[in-house]
Amino acid sequence: MIGPIVADEELFATDVVTCVGQVIGVVVADTHENAKTAAGKVEVLYEKLPAILSIKEAVNAKSFHPNTEKRLRKGDVELCFQSGECDRIIEGEVQIGGQEHFYLEPHGSLVWTLDGGNEVHMISSTQAPQKHQKYVSHVLGLPMCKVVCKTKRIGGGFGGKILALDLEIYNNGGNSLDLSLAILERAMFHSDNVYEIPHVRIVGNVCFTNFPSNTAFRGFGGPQGMLITENWIQRIAAELDKTPEEIKEMNFQEEGSITHYSQSLQHCTLQQLWKELKESSNFLKARREADEFNSQNRWKKRGVAIVPTKFGISFTTKFMNQAGALVHLYTDGTVLVTHGGVEMGQGLHTKVAQVAASAFNIPLSSVFVSETSTDKVPNASPTAASASSDMYGAAVLDACEQIIARMEPVASKHNFNTFAETYQLTASTSFRKLDLTGYLEKGMRLDTTHMELPLLKLR
Protein backbone atom coordinates (compact mmCIF):
# COMPACT_ATOMS: atom_id res chain seq x y z
CA MET A 1 0.00 0.00 0.00
CA ILE A 2 1.22 3.48 -0.85
CA GLY A 3 -0.02 7.06 -0.47
CA PRO A 4 1.42 10.54 0.24
CA ILE A 5 -0.28 10.84 3.65
CA VAL A 6 -2.37 7.72 4.24
CA ALA A 7 -1.20 4.45 2.66
CA ASP A 8 -4.57 3.47 1.16
CA GLU A 9 -3.61 2.95 -2.50
CA GLU A 10 -2.86 -0.53 -3.78
CA LEU A 11 -0.17 -0.76 -6.42
CA PHE A 12 -2.18 -3.58 -8.02
CA ALA A 13 -5.83 -4.13 -7.13
CA THR A 14 -6.41 -7.34 -5.19
CA ASP A 15 -9.99 -8.22 -4.17
CA VAL A 16 -12.00 -5.11 -5.10
CA VAL A 17 -11.46 -2.66 -7.97
CA THR A 18 -12.58 0.74 -6.67
CA CYS A 19 -12.49 2.76 -9.89
CA VAL A 20 -12.37 2.45 -13.66
CA GLY A 21 -8.80 2.10 -14.88
CA GLN A 22 -7.38 0.80 -11.61
CA VAL A 23 -4.22 -1.18 -12.33
CA ILE A 24 -4.47 -4.92 -11.69
CA GLY A 25 -1.09 -6.02 -13.03
CA VAL A 26 1.80 -5.28 -15.34
CA VAL A 27 3.21 -7.02 -18.40
CA VAL A 28 6.97 -7.17 -18.89
CA ALA A 29 8.22 -7.89 -22.42
CA ASP A 30 11.22 -7.35 -24.66
CA THR A 31 9.46 -4.72 -26.79
CA HIS A 32 6.64 -2.22 -26.37
CA GLU A 33 4.61 -3.92 -29.11
CA ASN A 34 4.91 -7.35 -27.50
CA ALA A 35 3.87 -5.93 -24.14
CA LYS A 36 0.74 -4.36 -25.66
CA THR A 37 -0.09 -7.61 -27.47
CA ALA A 38 0.28 -9.64 -24.29
CA ALA A 39 -1.80 -7.17 -22.27
CA GLY A 40 -4.56 -7.39 -24.87
CA LYS A 41 -4.80 -11.14 -24.35
CA VAL A 42 -5.47 -10.84 -20.62
CA GLU A 43 -9.08 -11.51 -19.63
CA VAL A 44 -10.43 -10.27 -16.32
CA LEU A 45 -13.70 -11.38 -14.74
CA TYR A 46 -15.45 -8.69 -12.70
CA GLU A 47 -18.37 -8.91 -10.31
CA LYS A 48 -20.57 -5.84 -10.71
CA LEU A 49 -20.88 -3.88 -7.46
CA PRO A 50 -22.84 -0.68 -6.61
CA ALA A 51 -20.88 2.46 -7.52
CA ILE A 52 -20.88 5.99 -6.10
CA LEU A 53 -20.33 8.45 -8.93
CA SER A 54 -21.06 11.92 -7.55
CA ILE A 55 -20.61 14.04 -4.45
CA LYS A 56 -24.38 14.02 -3.84
CA GLU A 57 -24.47 10.23 -3.95
CA ALA A 58 -21.51 10.12 -1.54
CA VAL A 59 -23.18 12.56 0.88
CA ASN A 60 -26.47 10.65 0.82
CA ALA A 61 -24.65 7.36 1.41
CA LYS A 62 -22.29 8.97 3.96
CA SER A 63 -19.41 7.64 1.88
CA PHE A 64 -16.42 9.57 3.21
CA HIS A 65 -12.77 8.74 3.54
CA PRO A 66 -12.12 7.76 7.17
CA ASN A 67 -11.16 10.51 9.64
CA THR A 68 -11.40 13.34 7.11
CA GLU A 69 -14.20 15.43 8.63
CA LYS A 70 -12.84 18.84 9.59
CA ARG A 71 -14.54 21.65 11.48
CA LEU A 72 -13.67 25.32 11.92
CA ARG A 73 -15.61 27.60 14.24
CA LYS A 74 -15.53 31.27 15.18
CA GLY A 75 -18.19 32.94 17.31
CA ASP A 76 -21.68 31.34 17.47
CA VAL A 77 -23.45 30.97 14.12
CA GLU A 78 -26.70 29.50 15.53
CA LEU A 79 -27.06 32.25 18.12
CA CYS A 80 -26.40 34.92 15.49
CA PHE A 81 -29.04 33.48 13.15
CA GLN A 82 -31.67 33.16 15.90
CA SER A 83 -31.01 36.47 17.65
CA GLY A 84 -32.65 38.64 15.01
CA GLU A 85 -29.37 40.49 14.49
CA CYS A 86 -29.22 39.35 10.86
CA ASP A 87 -31.53 41.38 8.63
CA ARG A 88 -31.34 38.72 5.92
CA ILE A 89 -30.10 35.13 5.76
CA ILE A 90 -29.20 33.98 2.25
CA GLU A 91 -28.79 30.31 1.35
CA GLY A 92 -27.17 28.86 -1.76
CA GLU A 93 -25.06 26.10 -3.24
CA VAL A 94 -21.90 26.27 -5.34
CA GLN A 95 -20.74 23.36 -7.49
CA ILE A 96 -17.23 23.44 -8.93
CA GLY A 97 -15.97 20.96 -11.49
CA GLY A 98 -12.51 19.46 -11.48
CA GLN A 99 -9.63 21.86 -12.02
CA GLU A 100 -7.49 21.40 -15.13
CA HIS A 101 -4.29 22.92 -16.43
CA PHE A 102 -4.70 25.37 -19.31
CA TYR A 103 -1.89 23.49 -21.04
CA LEU A 104 -0.72 19.90 -20.89
CA GLU A 105 1.94 19.26 -18.28
CA PRO A 106 3.73 16.05 -19.33
CA HIS A 107 4.94 13.49 -16.84
CA GLY A 108 7.71 11.01 -17.52
CA SER A 109 10.35 8.92 -15.78
CA LEU A 110 13.46 7.05 -16.87
CA VAL A 111 14.48 4.20 -14.55
CA TRP A 112 17.55 1.97 -14.58
CA THR A 113 19.19 -0.46 -12.17
CA LEU A 114 22.75 -0.92 -10.93
CA ASP A 115 24.58 -3.68 -9.09
CA GLY A 116 22.41 -6.46 -10.44
CA GLY A 117 19.17 -4.73 -9.52
CA ASN A 118 20.21 -3.89 -5.96
CA GLU A 119 20.24 -0.15 -6.74
CA VAL A 120 17.63 1.85 -8.64
CA HIS A 121 18.25 5.25 -10.24
CA MET A 122 15.66 7.38 -11.97
CA ILE A 123 15.19 10.75 -13.64
CA SER A 124 11.66 12.10 -13.26
CA SER A 125 9.67 15.24 -14.08
CA THR A 126 8.37 15.69 -10.57
CA GLN A 127 8.00 18.34 -7.88
CA ALA A 128 8.73 15.75 -5.20
CA PRO A 129 11.67 13.46 -6.08
CA GLN A 130 11.76 12.36 -2.45
CA LYS A 131 8.27 10.87 -2.83
CA HIS A 132 9.42 8.87 -5.87
CA GLN A 133 12.37 7.62 -3.87
CA LYS A 134 10.07 6.59 -1.00
CA TYR A 135 7.48 4.78 -3.15
CA VAL A 136 9.99 2.92 -5.32
CA SER A 137 11.92 1.88 -2.22
CA HIS A 138 8.73 0.57 -0.61
CA VAL A 139 7.41 -1.28 -3.66
CA LEU A 140 10.73 -2.93 -4.53
CA GLY A 141 11.69 -3.69 -0.95
CA LEU A 142 14.92 -1.71 -1.16
CA PRO A 143 16.32 0.65 1.48
CA MET A 144 15.92 4.31 0.53
CA CYS A 145 19.69 4.75 0.45
CA LYS A 146 19.80 2.51 -2.64
CA VAL A 147 17.12 4.43 -4.55
CA VAL A 148 18.10 7.75 -6.18
CA CYS A 149 15.73 10.14 -7.96
CA LYS A 150 17.10 13.14 -9.86
CA THR A 151 15.34 16.15 -11.37
CA LYS A 152 17.26 18.74 -13.36
CA ARG A 153 14.31 21.00 -14.13
CA ILE A 154 10.73 20.58 -15.30
CA GLY A 155 8.30 22.64 -17.35
CA GLY A 156 6.11 25.34 -15.85
CA GLY A 157 4.38 24.08 -12.73
CA PHE A 158 1.90 26.79 -12.57
CA GLY A 159 -1.40 29.63 -11.22
CA GLY A 160 -23.91 45.62 4.29
CA LYS A 161 -21.71 43.83 7.06
CA ILE A 162 -21.50 40.10 6.95
CA LEU A 163 -22.29 38.71 10.38
CA ALA A 164 -22.20 34.93 10.01
CA LEU A 165 -21.13 32.21 7.60
CA ASP A 166 -22.40 28.63 7.85
CA LEU A 167 -20.68 26.50 5.22
CA GLU A 168 -20.45 22.83 4.33
CA ILE A 169 -17.74 21.75 1.88
CA TYR A 170 -17.50 18.36 0.20
CA ASN A 171 -14.73 17.42 -2.19
CA ASN A 172 -14.61 14.37 -4.43
CA GLY A 173 -11.58 12.41 -3.26
CA GLY A 174 -12.14 9.45 -5.58
CA ASN A 175 -11.11 5.95 -4.58
CA SER A 176 -8.08 6.92 -2.44
CA LEU A 177 -7.33 9.80 -0.13
CA ASP A 178 -4.07 11.02 -1.72
CA LEU A 179 -3.81 14.75 -0.79
CA SER A 180 -7.55 15.45 -0.74
CA LEU A 181 -7.65 16.12 3.01
CA ALA A 182 -4.92 18.77 2.83
CA ILE A 183 -6.69 20.33 -0.17
CA LEU A 184 -9.95 20.41 1.79
CA GLU A 185 -8.22 22.09 4.72
CA ARG A 186 -6.76 24.81 2.51
CA ALA A 187 -10.17 25.40 0.91
CA MET A 188 -11.64 25.82 4.40
CA PHE A 189 -8.85 28.22 5.41
CA HIS A 190 -9.56 30.36 2.33
CA SER A 191 -13.35 30.33 2.68
CA ASP A 192 -13.39 33.82 4.20
CA ASN A 193 -11.14 35.16 1.44
CA VAL A 194 -10.33 38.67 2.73
CA TYR A 195 -13.51 39.48 4.65
CA GLU A 196 -14.22 40.02 8.34
CA ILE A 197 -16.90 37.57 9.52
CA PRO A 198 -17.68 37.55 13.27
CA HIS A 199 -19.37 34.12 13.31
CA VAL A 200 -18.12 31.22 11.19
CA ARG A 201 -18.97 27.53 11.11
CA ILE A 202 -17.38 25.40 8.40
CA VAL A 203 -17.65 21.62 8.12
CA GLY A 204 -15.68 19.78 5.44
CA ASN A 205 -15.62 16.16 4.28
CA VAL A 206 -13.70 14.18 1.66
CA CYS A 207 -16.09 11.97 -0.29
CA PHE A 208 -15.17 8.42 -1.27
CA THR A 209 -16.42 7.77 -4.82
CA ASN A 210 -15.65 5.21 -7.49
CA PHE A 211 -13.60 7.58 -9.63
CA PRO A 212 -9.81 7.44 -10.06
CA SER A 213 -8.19 9.77 -7.56
CA ASN A 214 -6.37 12.86 -8.77
CA THR A 215 -3.54 14.51 -6.92
CA ALA A 216 -2.68 18.06 -5.88
CA PHE A 217 -2.54 20.93 -8.32
CA ARG A 218 -1.84 24.67 -8.54
CA GLY A 219 -3.83 26.46 -5.84
CA PHE A 220 -4.34 23.33 -3.72
CA GLY A 221 -7.94 24.16 -2.76
CA GLY A 222 -7.34 27.86 -2.15
CA PRO A 223 -9.03 29.11 -5.37
CA GLN A 224 -12.05 26.89 -4.71
CA GLY A 225 -12.48 28.28 -1.20
CA MET A 226 -12.25 31.86 -2.45
CA LEU A 227 -14.62 31.13 -5.36
CA ILE A 228 -17.26 30.05 -2.85
CA THR A 229 -16.73 33.31 -0.96
CA GLU A 230 -16.97 35.51 -4.04
CA ASN A 231 -20.13 33.64 -5.04
CA TRP A 232 -21.96 34.57 -1.86
CA ILE A 233 -20.60 38.13 -2.08
CA GLN A 234 -22.31 38.38 -5.49
CA ARG A 235 -25.54 36.93 -4.07
CA ILE A 236 -25.56 39.41 -1.19
CA ALA A 237 -24.99 42.30 -3.61
CA ALA A 238 -27.88 41.17 -5.81
CA GLU A 239 -30.16 40.72 -2.80
CA LEU A 240 -29.38 44.22 -1.48
CA ASP A 241 -29.26 45.89 -4.91
CA LYS A 242 -25.68 47.01 -4.40
CA THR A 243 -22.48 46.47 -6.36
CA PRO A 244 -20.19 43.65 -5.26
CA GLU A 245 -17.45 46.22 -4.67
CA GLU A 246 -19.61 48.00 -2.09
CA ILE A 247 -20.18 44.76 -0.18
CA LYS A 248 -16.47 43.94 -0.28
CA GLU A 249 -15.37 47.36 0.97
CA MET A 250 -17.76 47.16 3.93
CA ASN A 251 -16.36 43.81 5.04
CA PHE A 252 -12.61 43.91 4.43
CA GLN A 253 -10.33 42.46 7.08
CA GLU A 254 -7.95 44.94 8.70
CA GLU A 255 -4.92 45.05 10.96
CA GLY A 256 -5.51 42.82 13.97
CA SER A 257 -8.47 40.93 12.51
CA ILE A 258 -8.82 37.37 13.85
CA THR A 259 -9.55 34.72 11.23
CA HIS A 260 -11.76 31.67 11.73
CA TYR A 261 -8.56 29.62 12.17
CA SER A 262 -7.40 31.93 15.01
CA GLN A 263 -4.68 33.84 13.18
CA SER A 264 -4.22 37.50 14.03
CA LEU A 265 -3.49 39.47 10.86
CA GLN A 266 -0.33 41.57 10.91
CA HIS A 267 0.92 43.98 8.24
CA CYS A 268 -2.52 43.84 6.58
CA THR A 269 -2.22 46.06 3.48
CA LEU A 270 -5.52 44.99 1.94
CA GLN A 271 -7.37 48.32 2.05
CA GLN A 272 -4.32 50.21 0.81
CA LEU A 273 -3.96 47.83 -2.14
CA TRP A 274 -7.66 48.13 -2.94
CA LYS A 275 -7.54 51.93 -2.94
CA GLU A 276 -4.38 52.10 -5.07
CA LEU A 277 -5.74 49.63 -7.64
CA LYS A 278 -9.06 51.44 -7.97
CA GLU A 279 -7.29 54.74 -8.53
CA SER A 280 -4.53 53.51 -10.85
CA SER A 281 -6.97 51.52 -13.01
CA ASN A 282 -9.64 54.25 -13.17
CA PHE A 283 -12.08 51.58 -12.07
CA LEU A 284 -15.14 53.81 -11.76
CA LYS A 285 -14.56 55.17 -15.27
CA ALA A 286 -14.13 51.65 -16.62
CA ARG A 287 -17.38 50.61 -14.91
CA ARG A 288 -19.30 53.53 -16.48
CA GLU A 289 -17.86 52.73 -19.90
CA ALA A 290 -18.88 49.10 -19.51
CA ASP A 291 -22.43 50.11 -18.56
CA GLU A 292 -22.66 52.42 -21.59
CA PHE A 293 -21.31 49.71 -23.90
CA ASN A 294 -23.81 47.17 -22.61
CA SER A 295 -26.74 49.55 -23.05
CA GLN A 296 -25.77 50.10 -26.70
CA ASN A 297 -24.99 46.47 -27.62
CA ARG A 298 -27.50 43.66 -27.47
CA TRP A 299 -25.29 40.72 -28.38
CA LYS A 300 -21.95 41.86 -27.00
CA LYS A 301 -21.39 42.62 -23.36
CA ARG A 302 -18.51 43.97 -21.31
CA GLY A 303 -17.70 43.42 -17.67
CA VAL A 304 -15.22 44.88 -15.22
CA ALA A 305 -14.52 43.73 -11.68
CA ILE A 306 -11.92 43.81 -8.95
CA VAL A 307 -11.48 40.57 -7.05
CA PRO A 308 -9.21 40.49 -3.98
CA THR A 309 -7.53 37.22 -3.10
CA LYS A 310 -5.22 35.78 -0.50
CA PHE A 311 -3.02 32.71 -0.36
CA GLY A 312 -1.50 31.04 2.67
CA ILE A 313 2.24 30.59 2.19
CA SER A 314 3.82 27.40 3.55
CA PHE A 315 2.62 23.88 4.31
CA THR A 316 -0.20 23.46 6.82
CA THR A 317 1.72 20.42 8.12
CA LYS A 318 4.38 22.31 10.07
CA PHE A 319 7.25 19.81 9.95
CA MET A 320 7.22 19.99 6.14
CA ASN A 321 8.36 23.61 6.28
CA GLN A 322 12.03 22.65 6.13
CA ALA A 323 14.73 22.70 3.49
CA GLY A 324 18.25 21.41 2.95
CA ALA A 325 21.21 22.45 0.82
CA LEU A 326 24.74 21.28 0.09
CA VAL A 327 27.38 23.86 -0.91
CA HIS A 328 30.81 22.95 -2.28
CA LEU A 329 33.68 25.41 -2.76
CA TYR A 330 36.52 24.70 -5.17
CA THR A 331 40.05 26.07 -5.14
CA ASP A 332 39.45 28.08 -8.33
CA GLY A 333 36.88 30.16 -6.45
CA THR A 334 33.79 28.57 -7.99
CA VAL A 335 30.84 27.24 -6.03
CA LEU A 336 28.59 24.22 -6.60
CA VAL A 337 25.15 24.34 -4.98
CA THR A 338 22.76 21.43 -4.61
CA HIS A 339 19.45 21.87 -2.82
CA GLY A 340 16.27 19.88 -2.29
CA GLY A 341 13.94 22.06 -4.38
CA VAL A 342 12.82 21.51 -7.97
CA GLU A 343 13.21 24.13 -10.70
CA MET A 344 9.92 24.34 -12.61
CA GLY A 345 10.13 27.73 -14.26
CA GLN A 346 9.72 29.81 -11.10
CA GLY A 347 13.42 30.73 -11.09
CA LEU A 348 14.35 28.78 -7.96
CA HIS A 349 17.82 27.80 -9.20
CA THR A 350 18.54 31.41 -10.18
CA LYS A 351 17.46 32.68 -6.77
CA VAL A 352 19.60 30.26 -4.76
CA ALA A 353 22.57 31.00 -7.05
CA GLN A 354 22.09 34.71 -6.34
CA VAL A 355 21.99 33.98 -2.61
CA ALA A 356 25.30 32.09 -2.78
CA ALA A 357 26.94 34.73 -4.98
CA SER A 358 25.85 37.48 -2.60
CA ALA A 359 26.99 35.57 0.49
CA PHE A 360 30.48 34.92 -0.91
CA ASN A 361 30.64 38.28 -2.74
CA ILE A 362 31.50 36.59 -6.05
CA PRO A 363 30.06 36.93 -9.57
CA LEU A 364 26.88 34.99 -10.32
CA SER A 365 28.77 33.24 -13.12
CA SER A 366 30.99 31.57 -10.50
CA VAL A 367 28.02 29.70 -9.01
CA PHE A 368 26.62 26.53 -10.59
CA VAL A 369 23.41 24.89 -9.36
CA SER A 370 23.39 21.14 -9.83
CA GLU A 371 20.36 18.93 -10.45
CA THR A 372 18.11 18.04 -7.56
CA SER A 373 19.02 14.58 -6.35
CA THR A 374 17.94 12.49 -3.39
CA ASP A 375 21.48 11.19 -2.85
CA LYS A 376 22.80 14.74 -2.32
CA VAL A 377 20.08 16.35 -0.19
CA PRO A 378 17.90 13.73 1.54
CA ASN A 379 14.42 13.93 3.06
CA ALA A 380 13.47 17.24 1.44
CA SER A 381 9.86 18.43 1.32
CA PRO A 382 8.05 18.69 -2.04
CA THR A 383 8.53 21.90 -3.97
CA ALA A 384 5.10 23.32 -3.19
CA ALA A 385 3.12 25.68 -0.96
CA SER A 386 4.72 28.78 -2.56
CA ALA A 387 7.48 28.62 0.04
CA SER A 388 10.45 27.05 -1.75
CA SER A 389 12.33 30.26 -2.59
CA ASP A 390 12.21 31.35 1.04
CA MET A 391 13.12 27.95 2.50
CA TYR A 392 15.81 26.81 0.07
CA GLY A 393 17.25 30.30 -0.22
CA ALA A 394 17.60 30.35 3.56
CA ALA A 395 19.14 26.86 3.57
CA VAL A 396 21.76 27.89 1.01
CA LEU A 397 22.49 31.10 2.94
CA ASP A 398 22.92 29.12 6.16
CA ALA A 399 25.38 26.75 4.47
CA CYS A 400 27.35 29.68 2.99
CA GLU A 401 27.52 31.45 6.34
CA GLN A 402 28.85 28.30 8.02
CA ILE A 403 31.60 28.05 5.40
CA ILE A 404 32.48 31.73 5.76
CA ALA A 405 32.71 31.32 9.54
CA ARG A 406 35.18 28.44 9.09
CA MET A 407 37.30 30.50 6.68
CA GLU A 408 37.28 33.67 8.77
CA PRO A 409 40.13 32.85 11.23
CA VAL A 410 42.59 32.48 8.34
CA ALA A 411 41.07 35.06 6.00
CA SER A 412 41.18 37.77 8.67
CA LYS A 413 44.97 37.43 8.96
CA HIS A 414 45.68 37.93 5.27
CA ASN A 415 44.88 40.54 2.69
CA PHE A 416 43.64 38.43 -0.21
CA ASN A 417 42.90 39.96 -3.60
CA THR A 418 40.25 37.45 -4.67
CA PHE A 419 37.82 34.98 -3.16
CA ALA A 420 39.72 32.18 -4.92
CA GLU A 421 42.94 33.11 -3.12
CA THR A 422 41.10 33.18 0.19
CA TYR A 423 39.67 29.73 -0.30
CA GLN A 424 42.86 28.21 -1.71
CA LEU A 425 44.75 29.01 1.49
CA THR A 426 42.02 28.31 4.01
CA ALA A 427 40.87 25.08 2.37
CA SER A 428 44.13 23.65 1.07
CA THR A 429 46.71 24.61 3.68
CA SER A 430 44.98 25.73 6.85
CA PHE A 431 42.07 23.38 7.27
CA ARG A 432 40.47 23.07 10.68
CA LYS A 433 41.28 19.99 12.68
CA LEU A 434 38.17 17.84 12.98
CA ASP A 435 37.80 14.54 14.82
CA LEU A 436 40.48 12.65 12.87
CA THR A 437 44.17 12.35 13.81
CA GLY A 438 46.88 11.07 11.47
CA TYR A 439 49.03 8.18 12.68
CA LEU A 440 51.27 5.38 11.37
CA GLU A 441 49.88 1.86 11.27
CA LYS A 442 52.18 -1.02 12.17
CA GLY A 443 51.75 -4.65 11.23
CA MET A 444 53.44 -8.04 11.10
CA ARG A 445 52.93 -11.16 9.05
CA LEU A 446 53.59 -14.82 9.72
CA ASP A 447 54.01 -17.25 6.83
CA THR A 448 54.33 -21.01 6.85
CA THR A 449 56.03 -22.54 3.82
CA HIS A 450 56.55 -26.05 2.48
CA MET A 451 59.27 -27.03 0.01
CA GLU A 452 60.71 -30.16 -1.56
CA LEU A 453 64.47 -30.67 -0.94
CA PRO A 454 66.51 -32.10 -3.86
CA LEU A 455 68.11 -35.53 -3.43
CA LEU A 456 71.93 -35.48 -3.44
CA LYS A 457 73.97 -38.45 -4.76
CA LEU A 458 77.25 -39.08 -2.91
CA ARG A 459 80.36 -40.40 -4.75
Helix (H) or strand (E) holding 139: helix 129-140
Residues 282 and 326 placed together within one structural domain of the fold: no
Domain presence at residue 263: yes
Q: Which domain holds residue 373?
A: 318-428
Query: What pLDDT score was predicted for residue 434?
Result: 42
Domain presence at residue 217: yes
Residues 324 and 288 placed together within one structural domain of the fold: no
Residues 280 and 330 placed together within one structural domain of the fold: no
Query: What pLDDT score was predicted for residue 102?
Result: 60
Domain presence at residue 434: no
Residues 253 and 389 placed together within one structural domain of the fold: no
DSSP character string of 198-263: SEEEEEEEEEP-SS------TTTTHHHHHHHHHHHHHHHHHHHT--HHHHHHHTB--TT-B-TTSP
Domain presence at residue 335: yes
Domain presence at residue 135: no
Residues 359 and 292 placed together within one structural domain of the fold: no
Residue 362 belongs to domain with CATH number: 3.30.365.10
Query: What pLDDT score was predicted for residue 428?
Result: 60
Residues 404 and 341 placed together within one structural domain of the fold: yes
Domain presence at residue 247: yes
Query: What pLDDT score was predicted for residue 126?
Result: 87
Residues 170 and 271 placed together within one structural domain of the fold: yes
Ordered mean pLDDT values, 10 residues apiece, the chain (459 residues): 84 90 91 94 91 94 93 93 89 83 72 91 90 91 91 68 91 92 92 94 95 85 92 92 92 93 92 94 94 94 93 83 91 90 91 95 93 92 87 94 85 75 65 52 77 65
Domain presence at residue 222: yes
Number of domains in the chain: 2
Residues 219 and 347 placed together within one structural domain of the fold: no
- Residues with Cβ < 8 Å from 251, sequence gap 6 or more? 161, 162, 195, 196, 197
Query: What pLDDT score was predicted for residue 330?
Result: 87
- Residues with Cβ < 8 Å from 128, sequence gap 6 or more? 342, 382, 383, 384
Global pTM reads 0.71
Query: What pLDDT score was predicted for residue 101?
Result: 67
Domain presence at residue 124: no
